[in-house]
Structure 1
Amino acid sequence: MIGYVTIGVSDMTRAKAFYSSLLTDFDARVLVDMGRICFIGKKMSEPMLAVCIPYDEQPHDPGNGNMVALHPGSKEAVDTTYHKAIELGATCDGEPGQRIPDQFYGAYVRDPDGNKIAFYHFG
């Protein structure tokens, strides 16, 4: 159902480097780079993450309540991806941990532009 999710950034070079490095363990890479916007994923027929300089050329706004949630595949992978994001320049917005007993394990970061990202695992 989801084709791609777009988040606004202030620096495309930094954003592409951050997300390309962060998502290598997901087997994702930049699939299309159009300068102002690029699409990162496994292939064009699967959901992708797009990062872009806003079309109206106004400053990006991470939004309150907006978040991209990524599923790395296991609780251990949540931990690994969270720590990798921090090493790449993200800031902590909630350390890895069990949020709902036996149901939801998650970790939260803010990318270098302040966009909120969740890494999660159900079960």
Structure 2
Amino acid sequence: MIGYVTIGVSDMGRAKQFYADLLADLGAKVLMDMERIAFIGKSMGTPMLAVCTPYDQQPNHPGNGNMVAINPGSKEMVDKLYHKAIELGATCDGEPGQRIPDRFYGAYIRDPDGNKVAFFHFG
């Protein structure tokens, strides 16, 4: 149902590199780069993450309450992506851990532009 989610960034080169490196273990890469916007994912037919500089040419601002949530398939991959994000320059917004016993495991980061990203696993 979701085609892609777009987040605003201040530095396209940095954002493309950050997300391509971060999501490479999930099989994602930059699929289409149109200078102002780039689509990162496994294929154009599956959900993607798009990074872009704002169309109105004003500074990007992370939304309050907005978040991109990525399900990498296991608790181990949640941990791996969280630590990789931190190594790539993200900041912690909630270390990996069980949030709801036996139901929800998650970790939260802020990318270099301040956008909030969650890595999660149900079960």
Same-fold status (TM-score > 0.5): yes
Aligned partners of 1:119 and 1:25: how far apart in 2? Answer: 13
Q: After the TM superposition, which parts of structure 1 deviate over 3 Å for at least 4 consecutive aligned residues? A: none
Take 1:60 and 1:107, find their aligned partners in 2: how far apart are those partners?
24
User: CA–CA distance in 2 between the matches of 1:97 and 1:107?
Assistant: 7
Deviation at 1:30, TM superposition (A): 0.5
Tell me the distance in 2 between the aligned counterparts of 1:88 and 1:9.
16
1:68 maps to what in 2?
68
Deviations 1:46-77 (A, max 9, x none): 00000000000000011100000001110011
**Whole-Å Cα distance in 2 between the matches of residues 42 and 102 of structure 1?**
29
TM-score for the superposition, normalised by structure 1: 0.99
Cα distance in 2 for residues equivalent to 1:46 and 1:66: 21
TM-score for the superposition, normalised by structure 2: 0.99
Q: Partners of 1:38 and 1:100 in 2: how far apart? A: 35
Match in the other structure for 1:7: 7
The 5 Å alignment of 1:73-112 reads 73-112=73-112
2:16 paired with 1:16? yes
SS in 2 for 1:44: coil
Paired-residue identity, % = 78
Measured against aligned partners, the alpha-carbon deviations of 1:80-114 in whole angstroms (never above 9, x if no partner) come to: 00000000000000000000000000000000000
User: What is the identity, as a one-letter code, of the residue corresponding to 1:5?
Assistant: V
Which stretches in structure 2 are left out of the alignment for 5+ residues?
A: none
The number of residues matched between the two structures is 123
Per-residue deviation, 1:27: 0.1
Structure 1, unpaired ranges of 5+ = none
Q: 1:4 deviation in Å?
A: 0.2
Q: Could you tell me which amino acid in structure 2 is paired with residue 69 of structure 1? A: A
Q: Which amino acid aligns with 2:85?
A: A
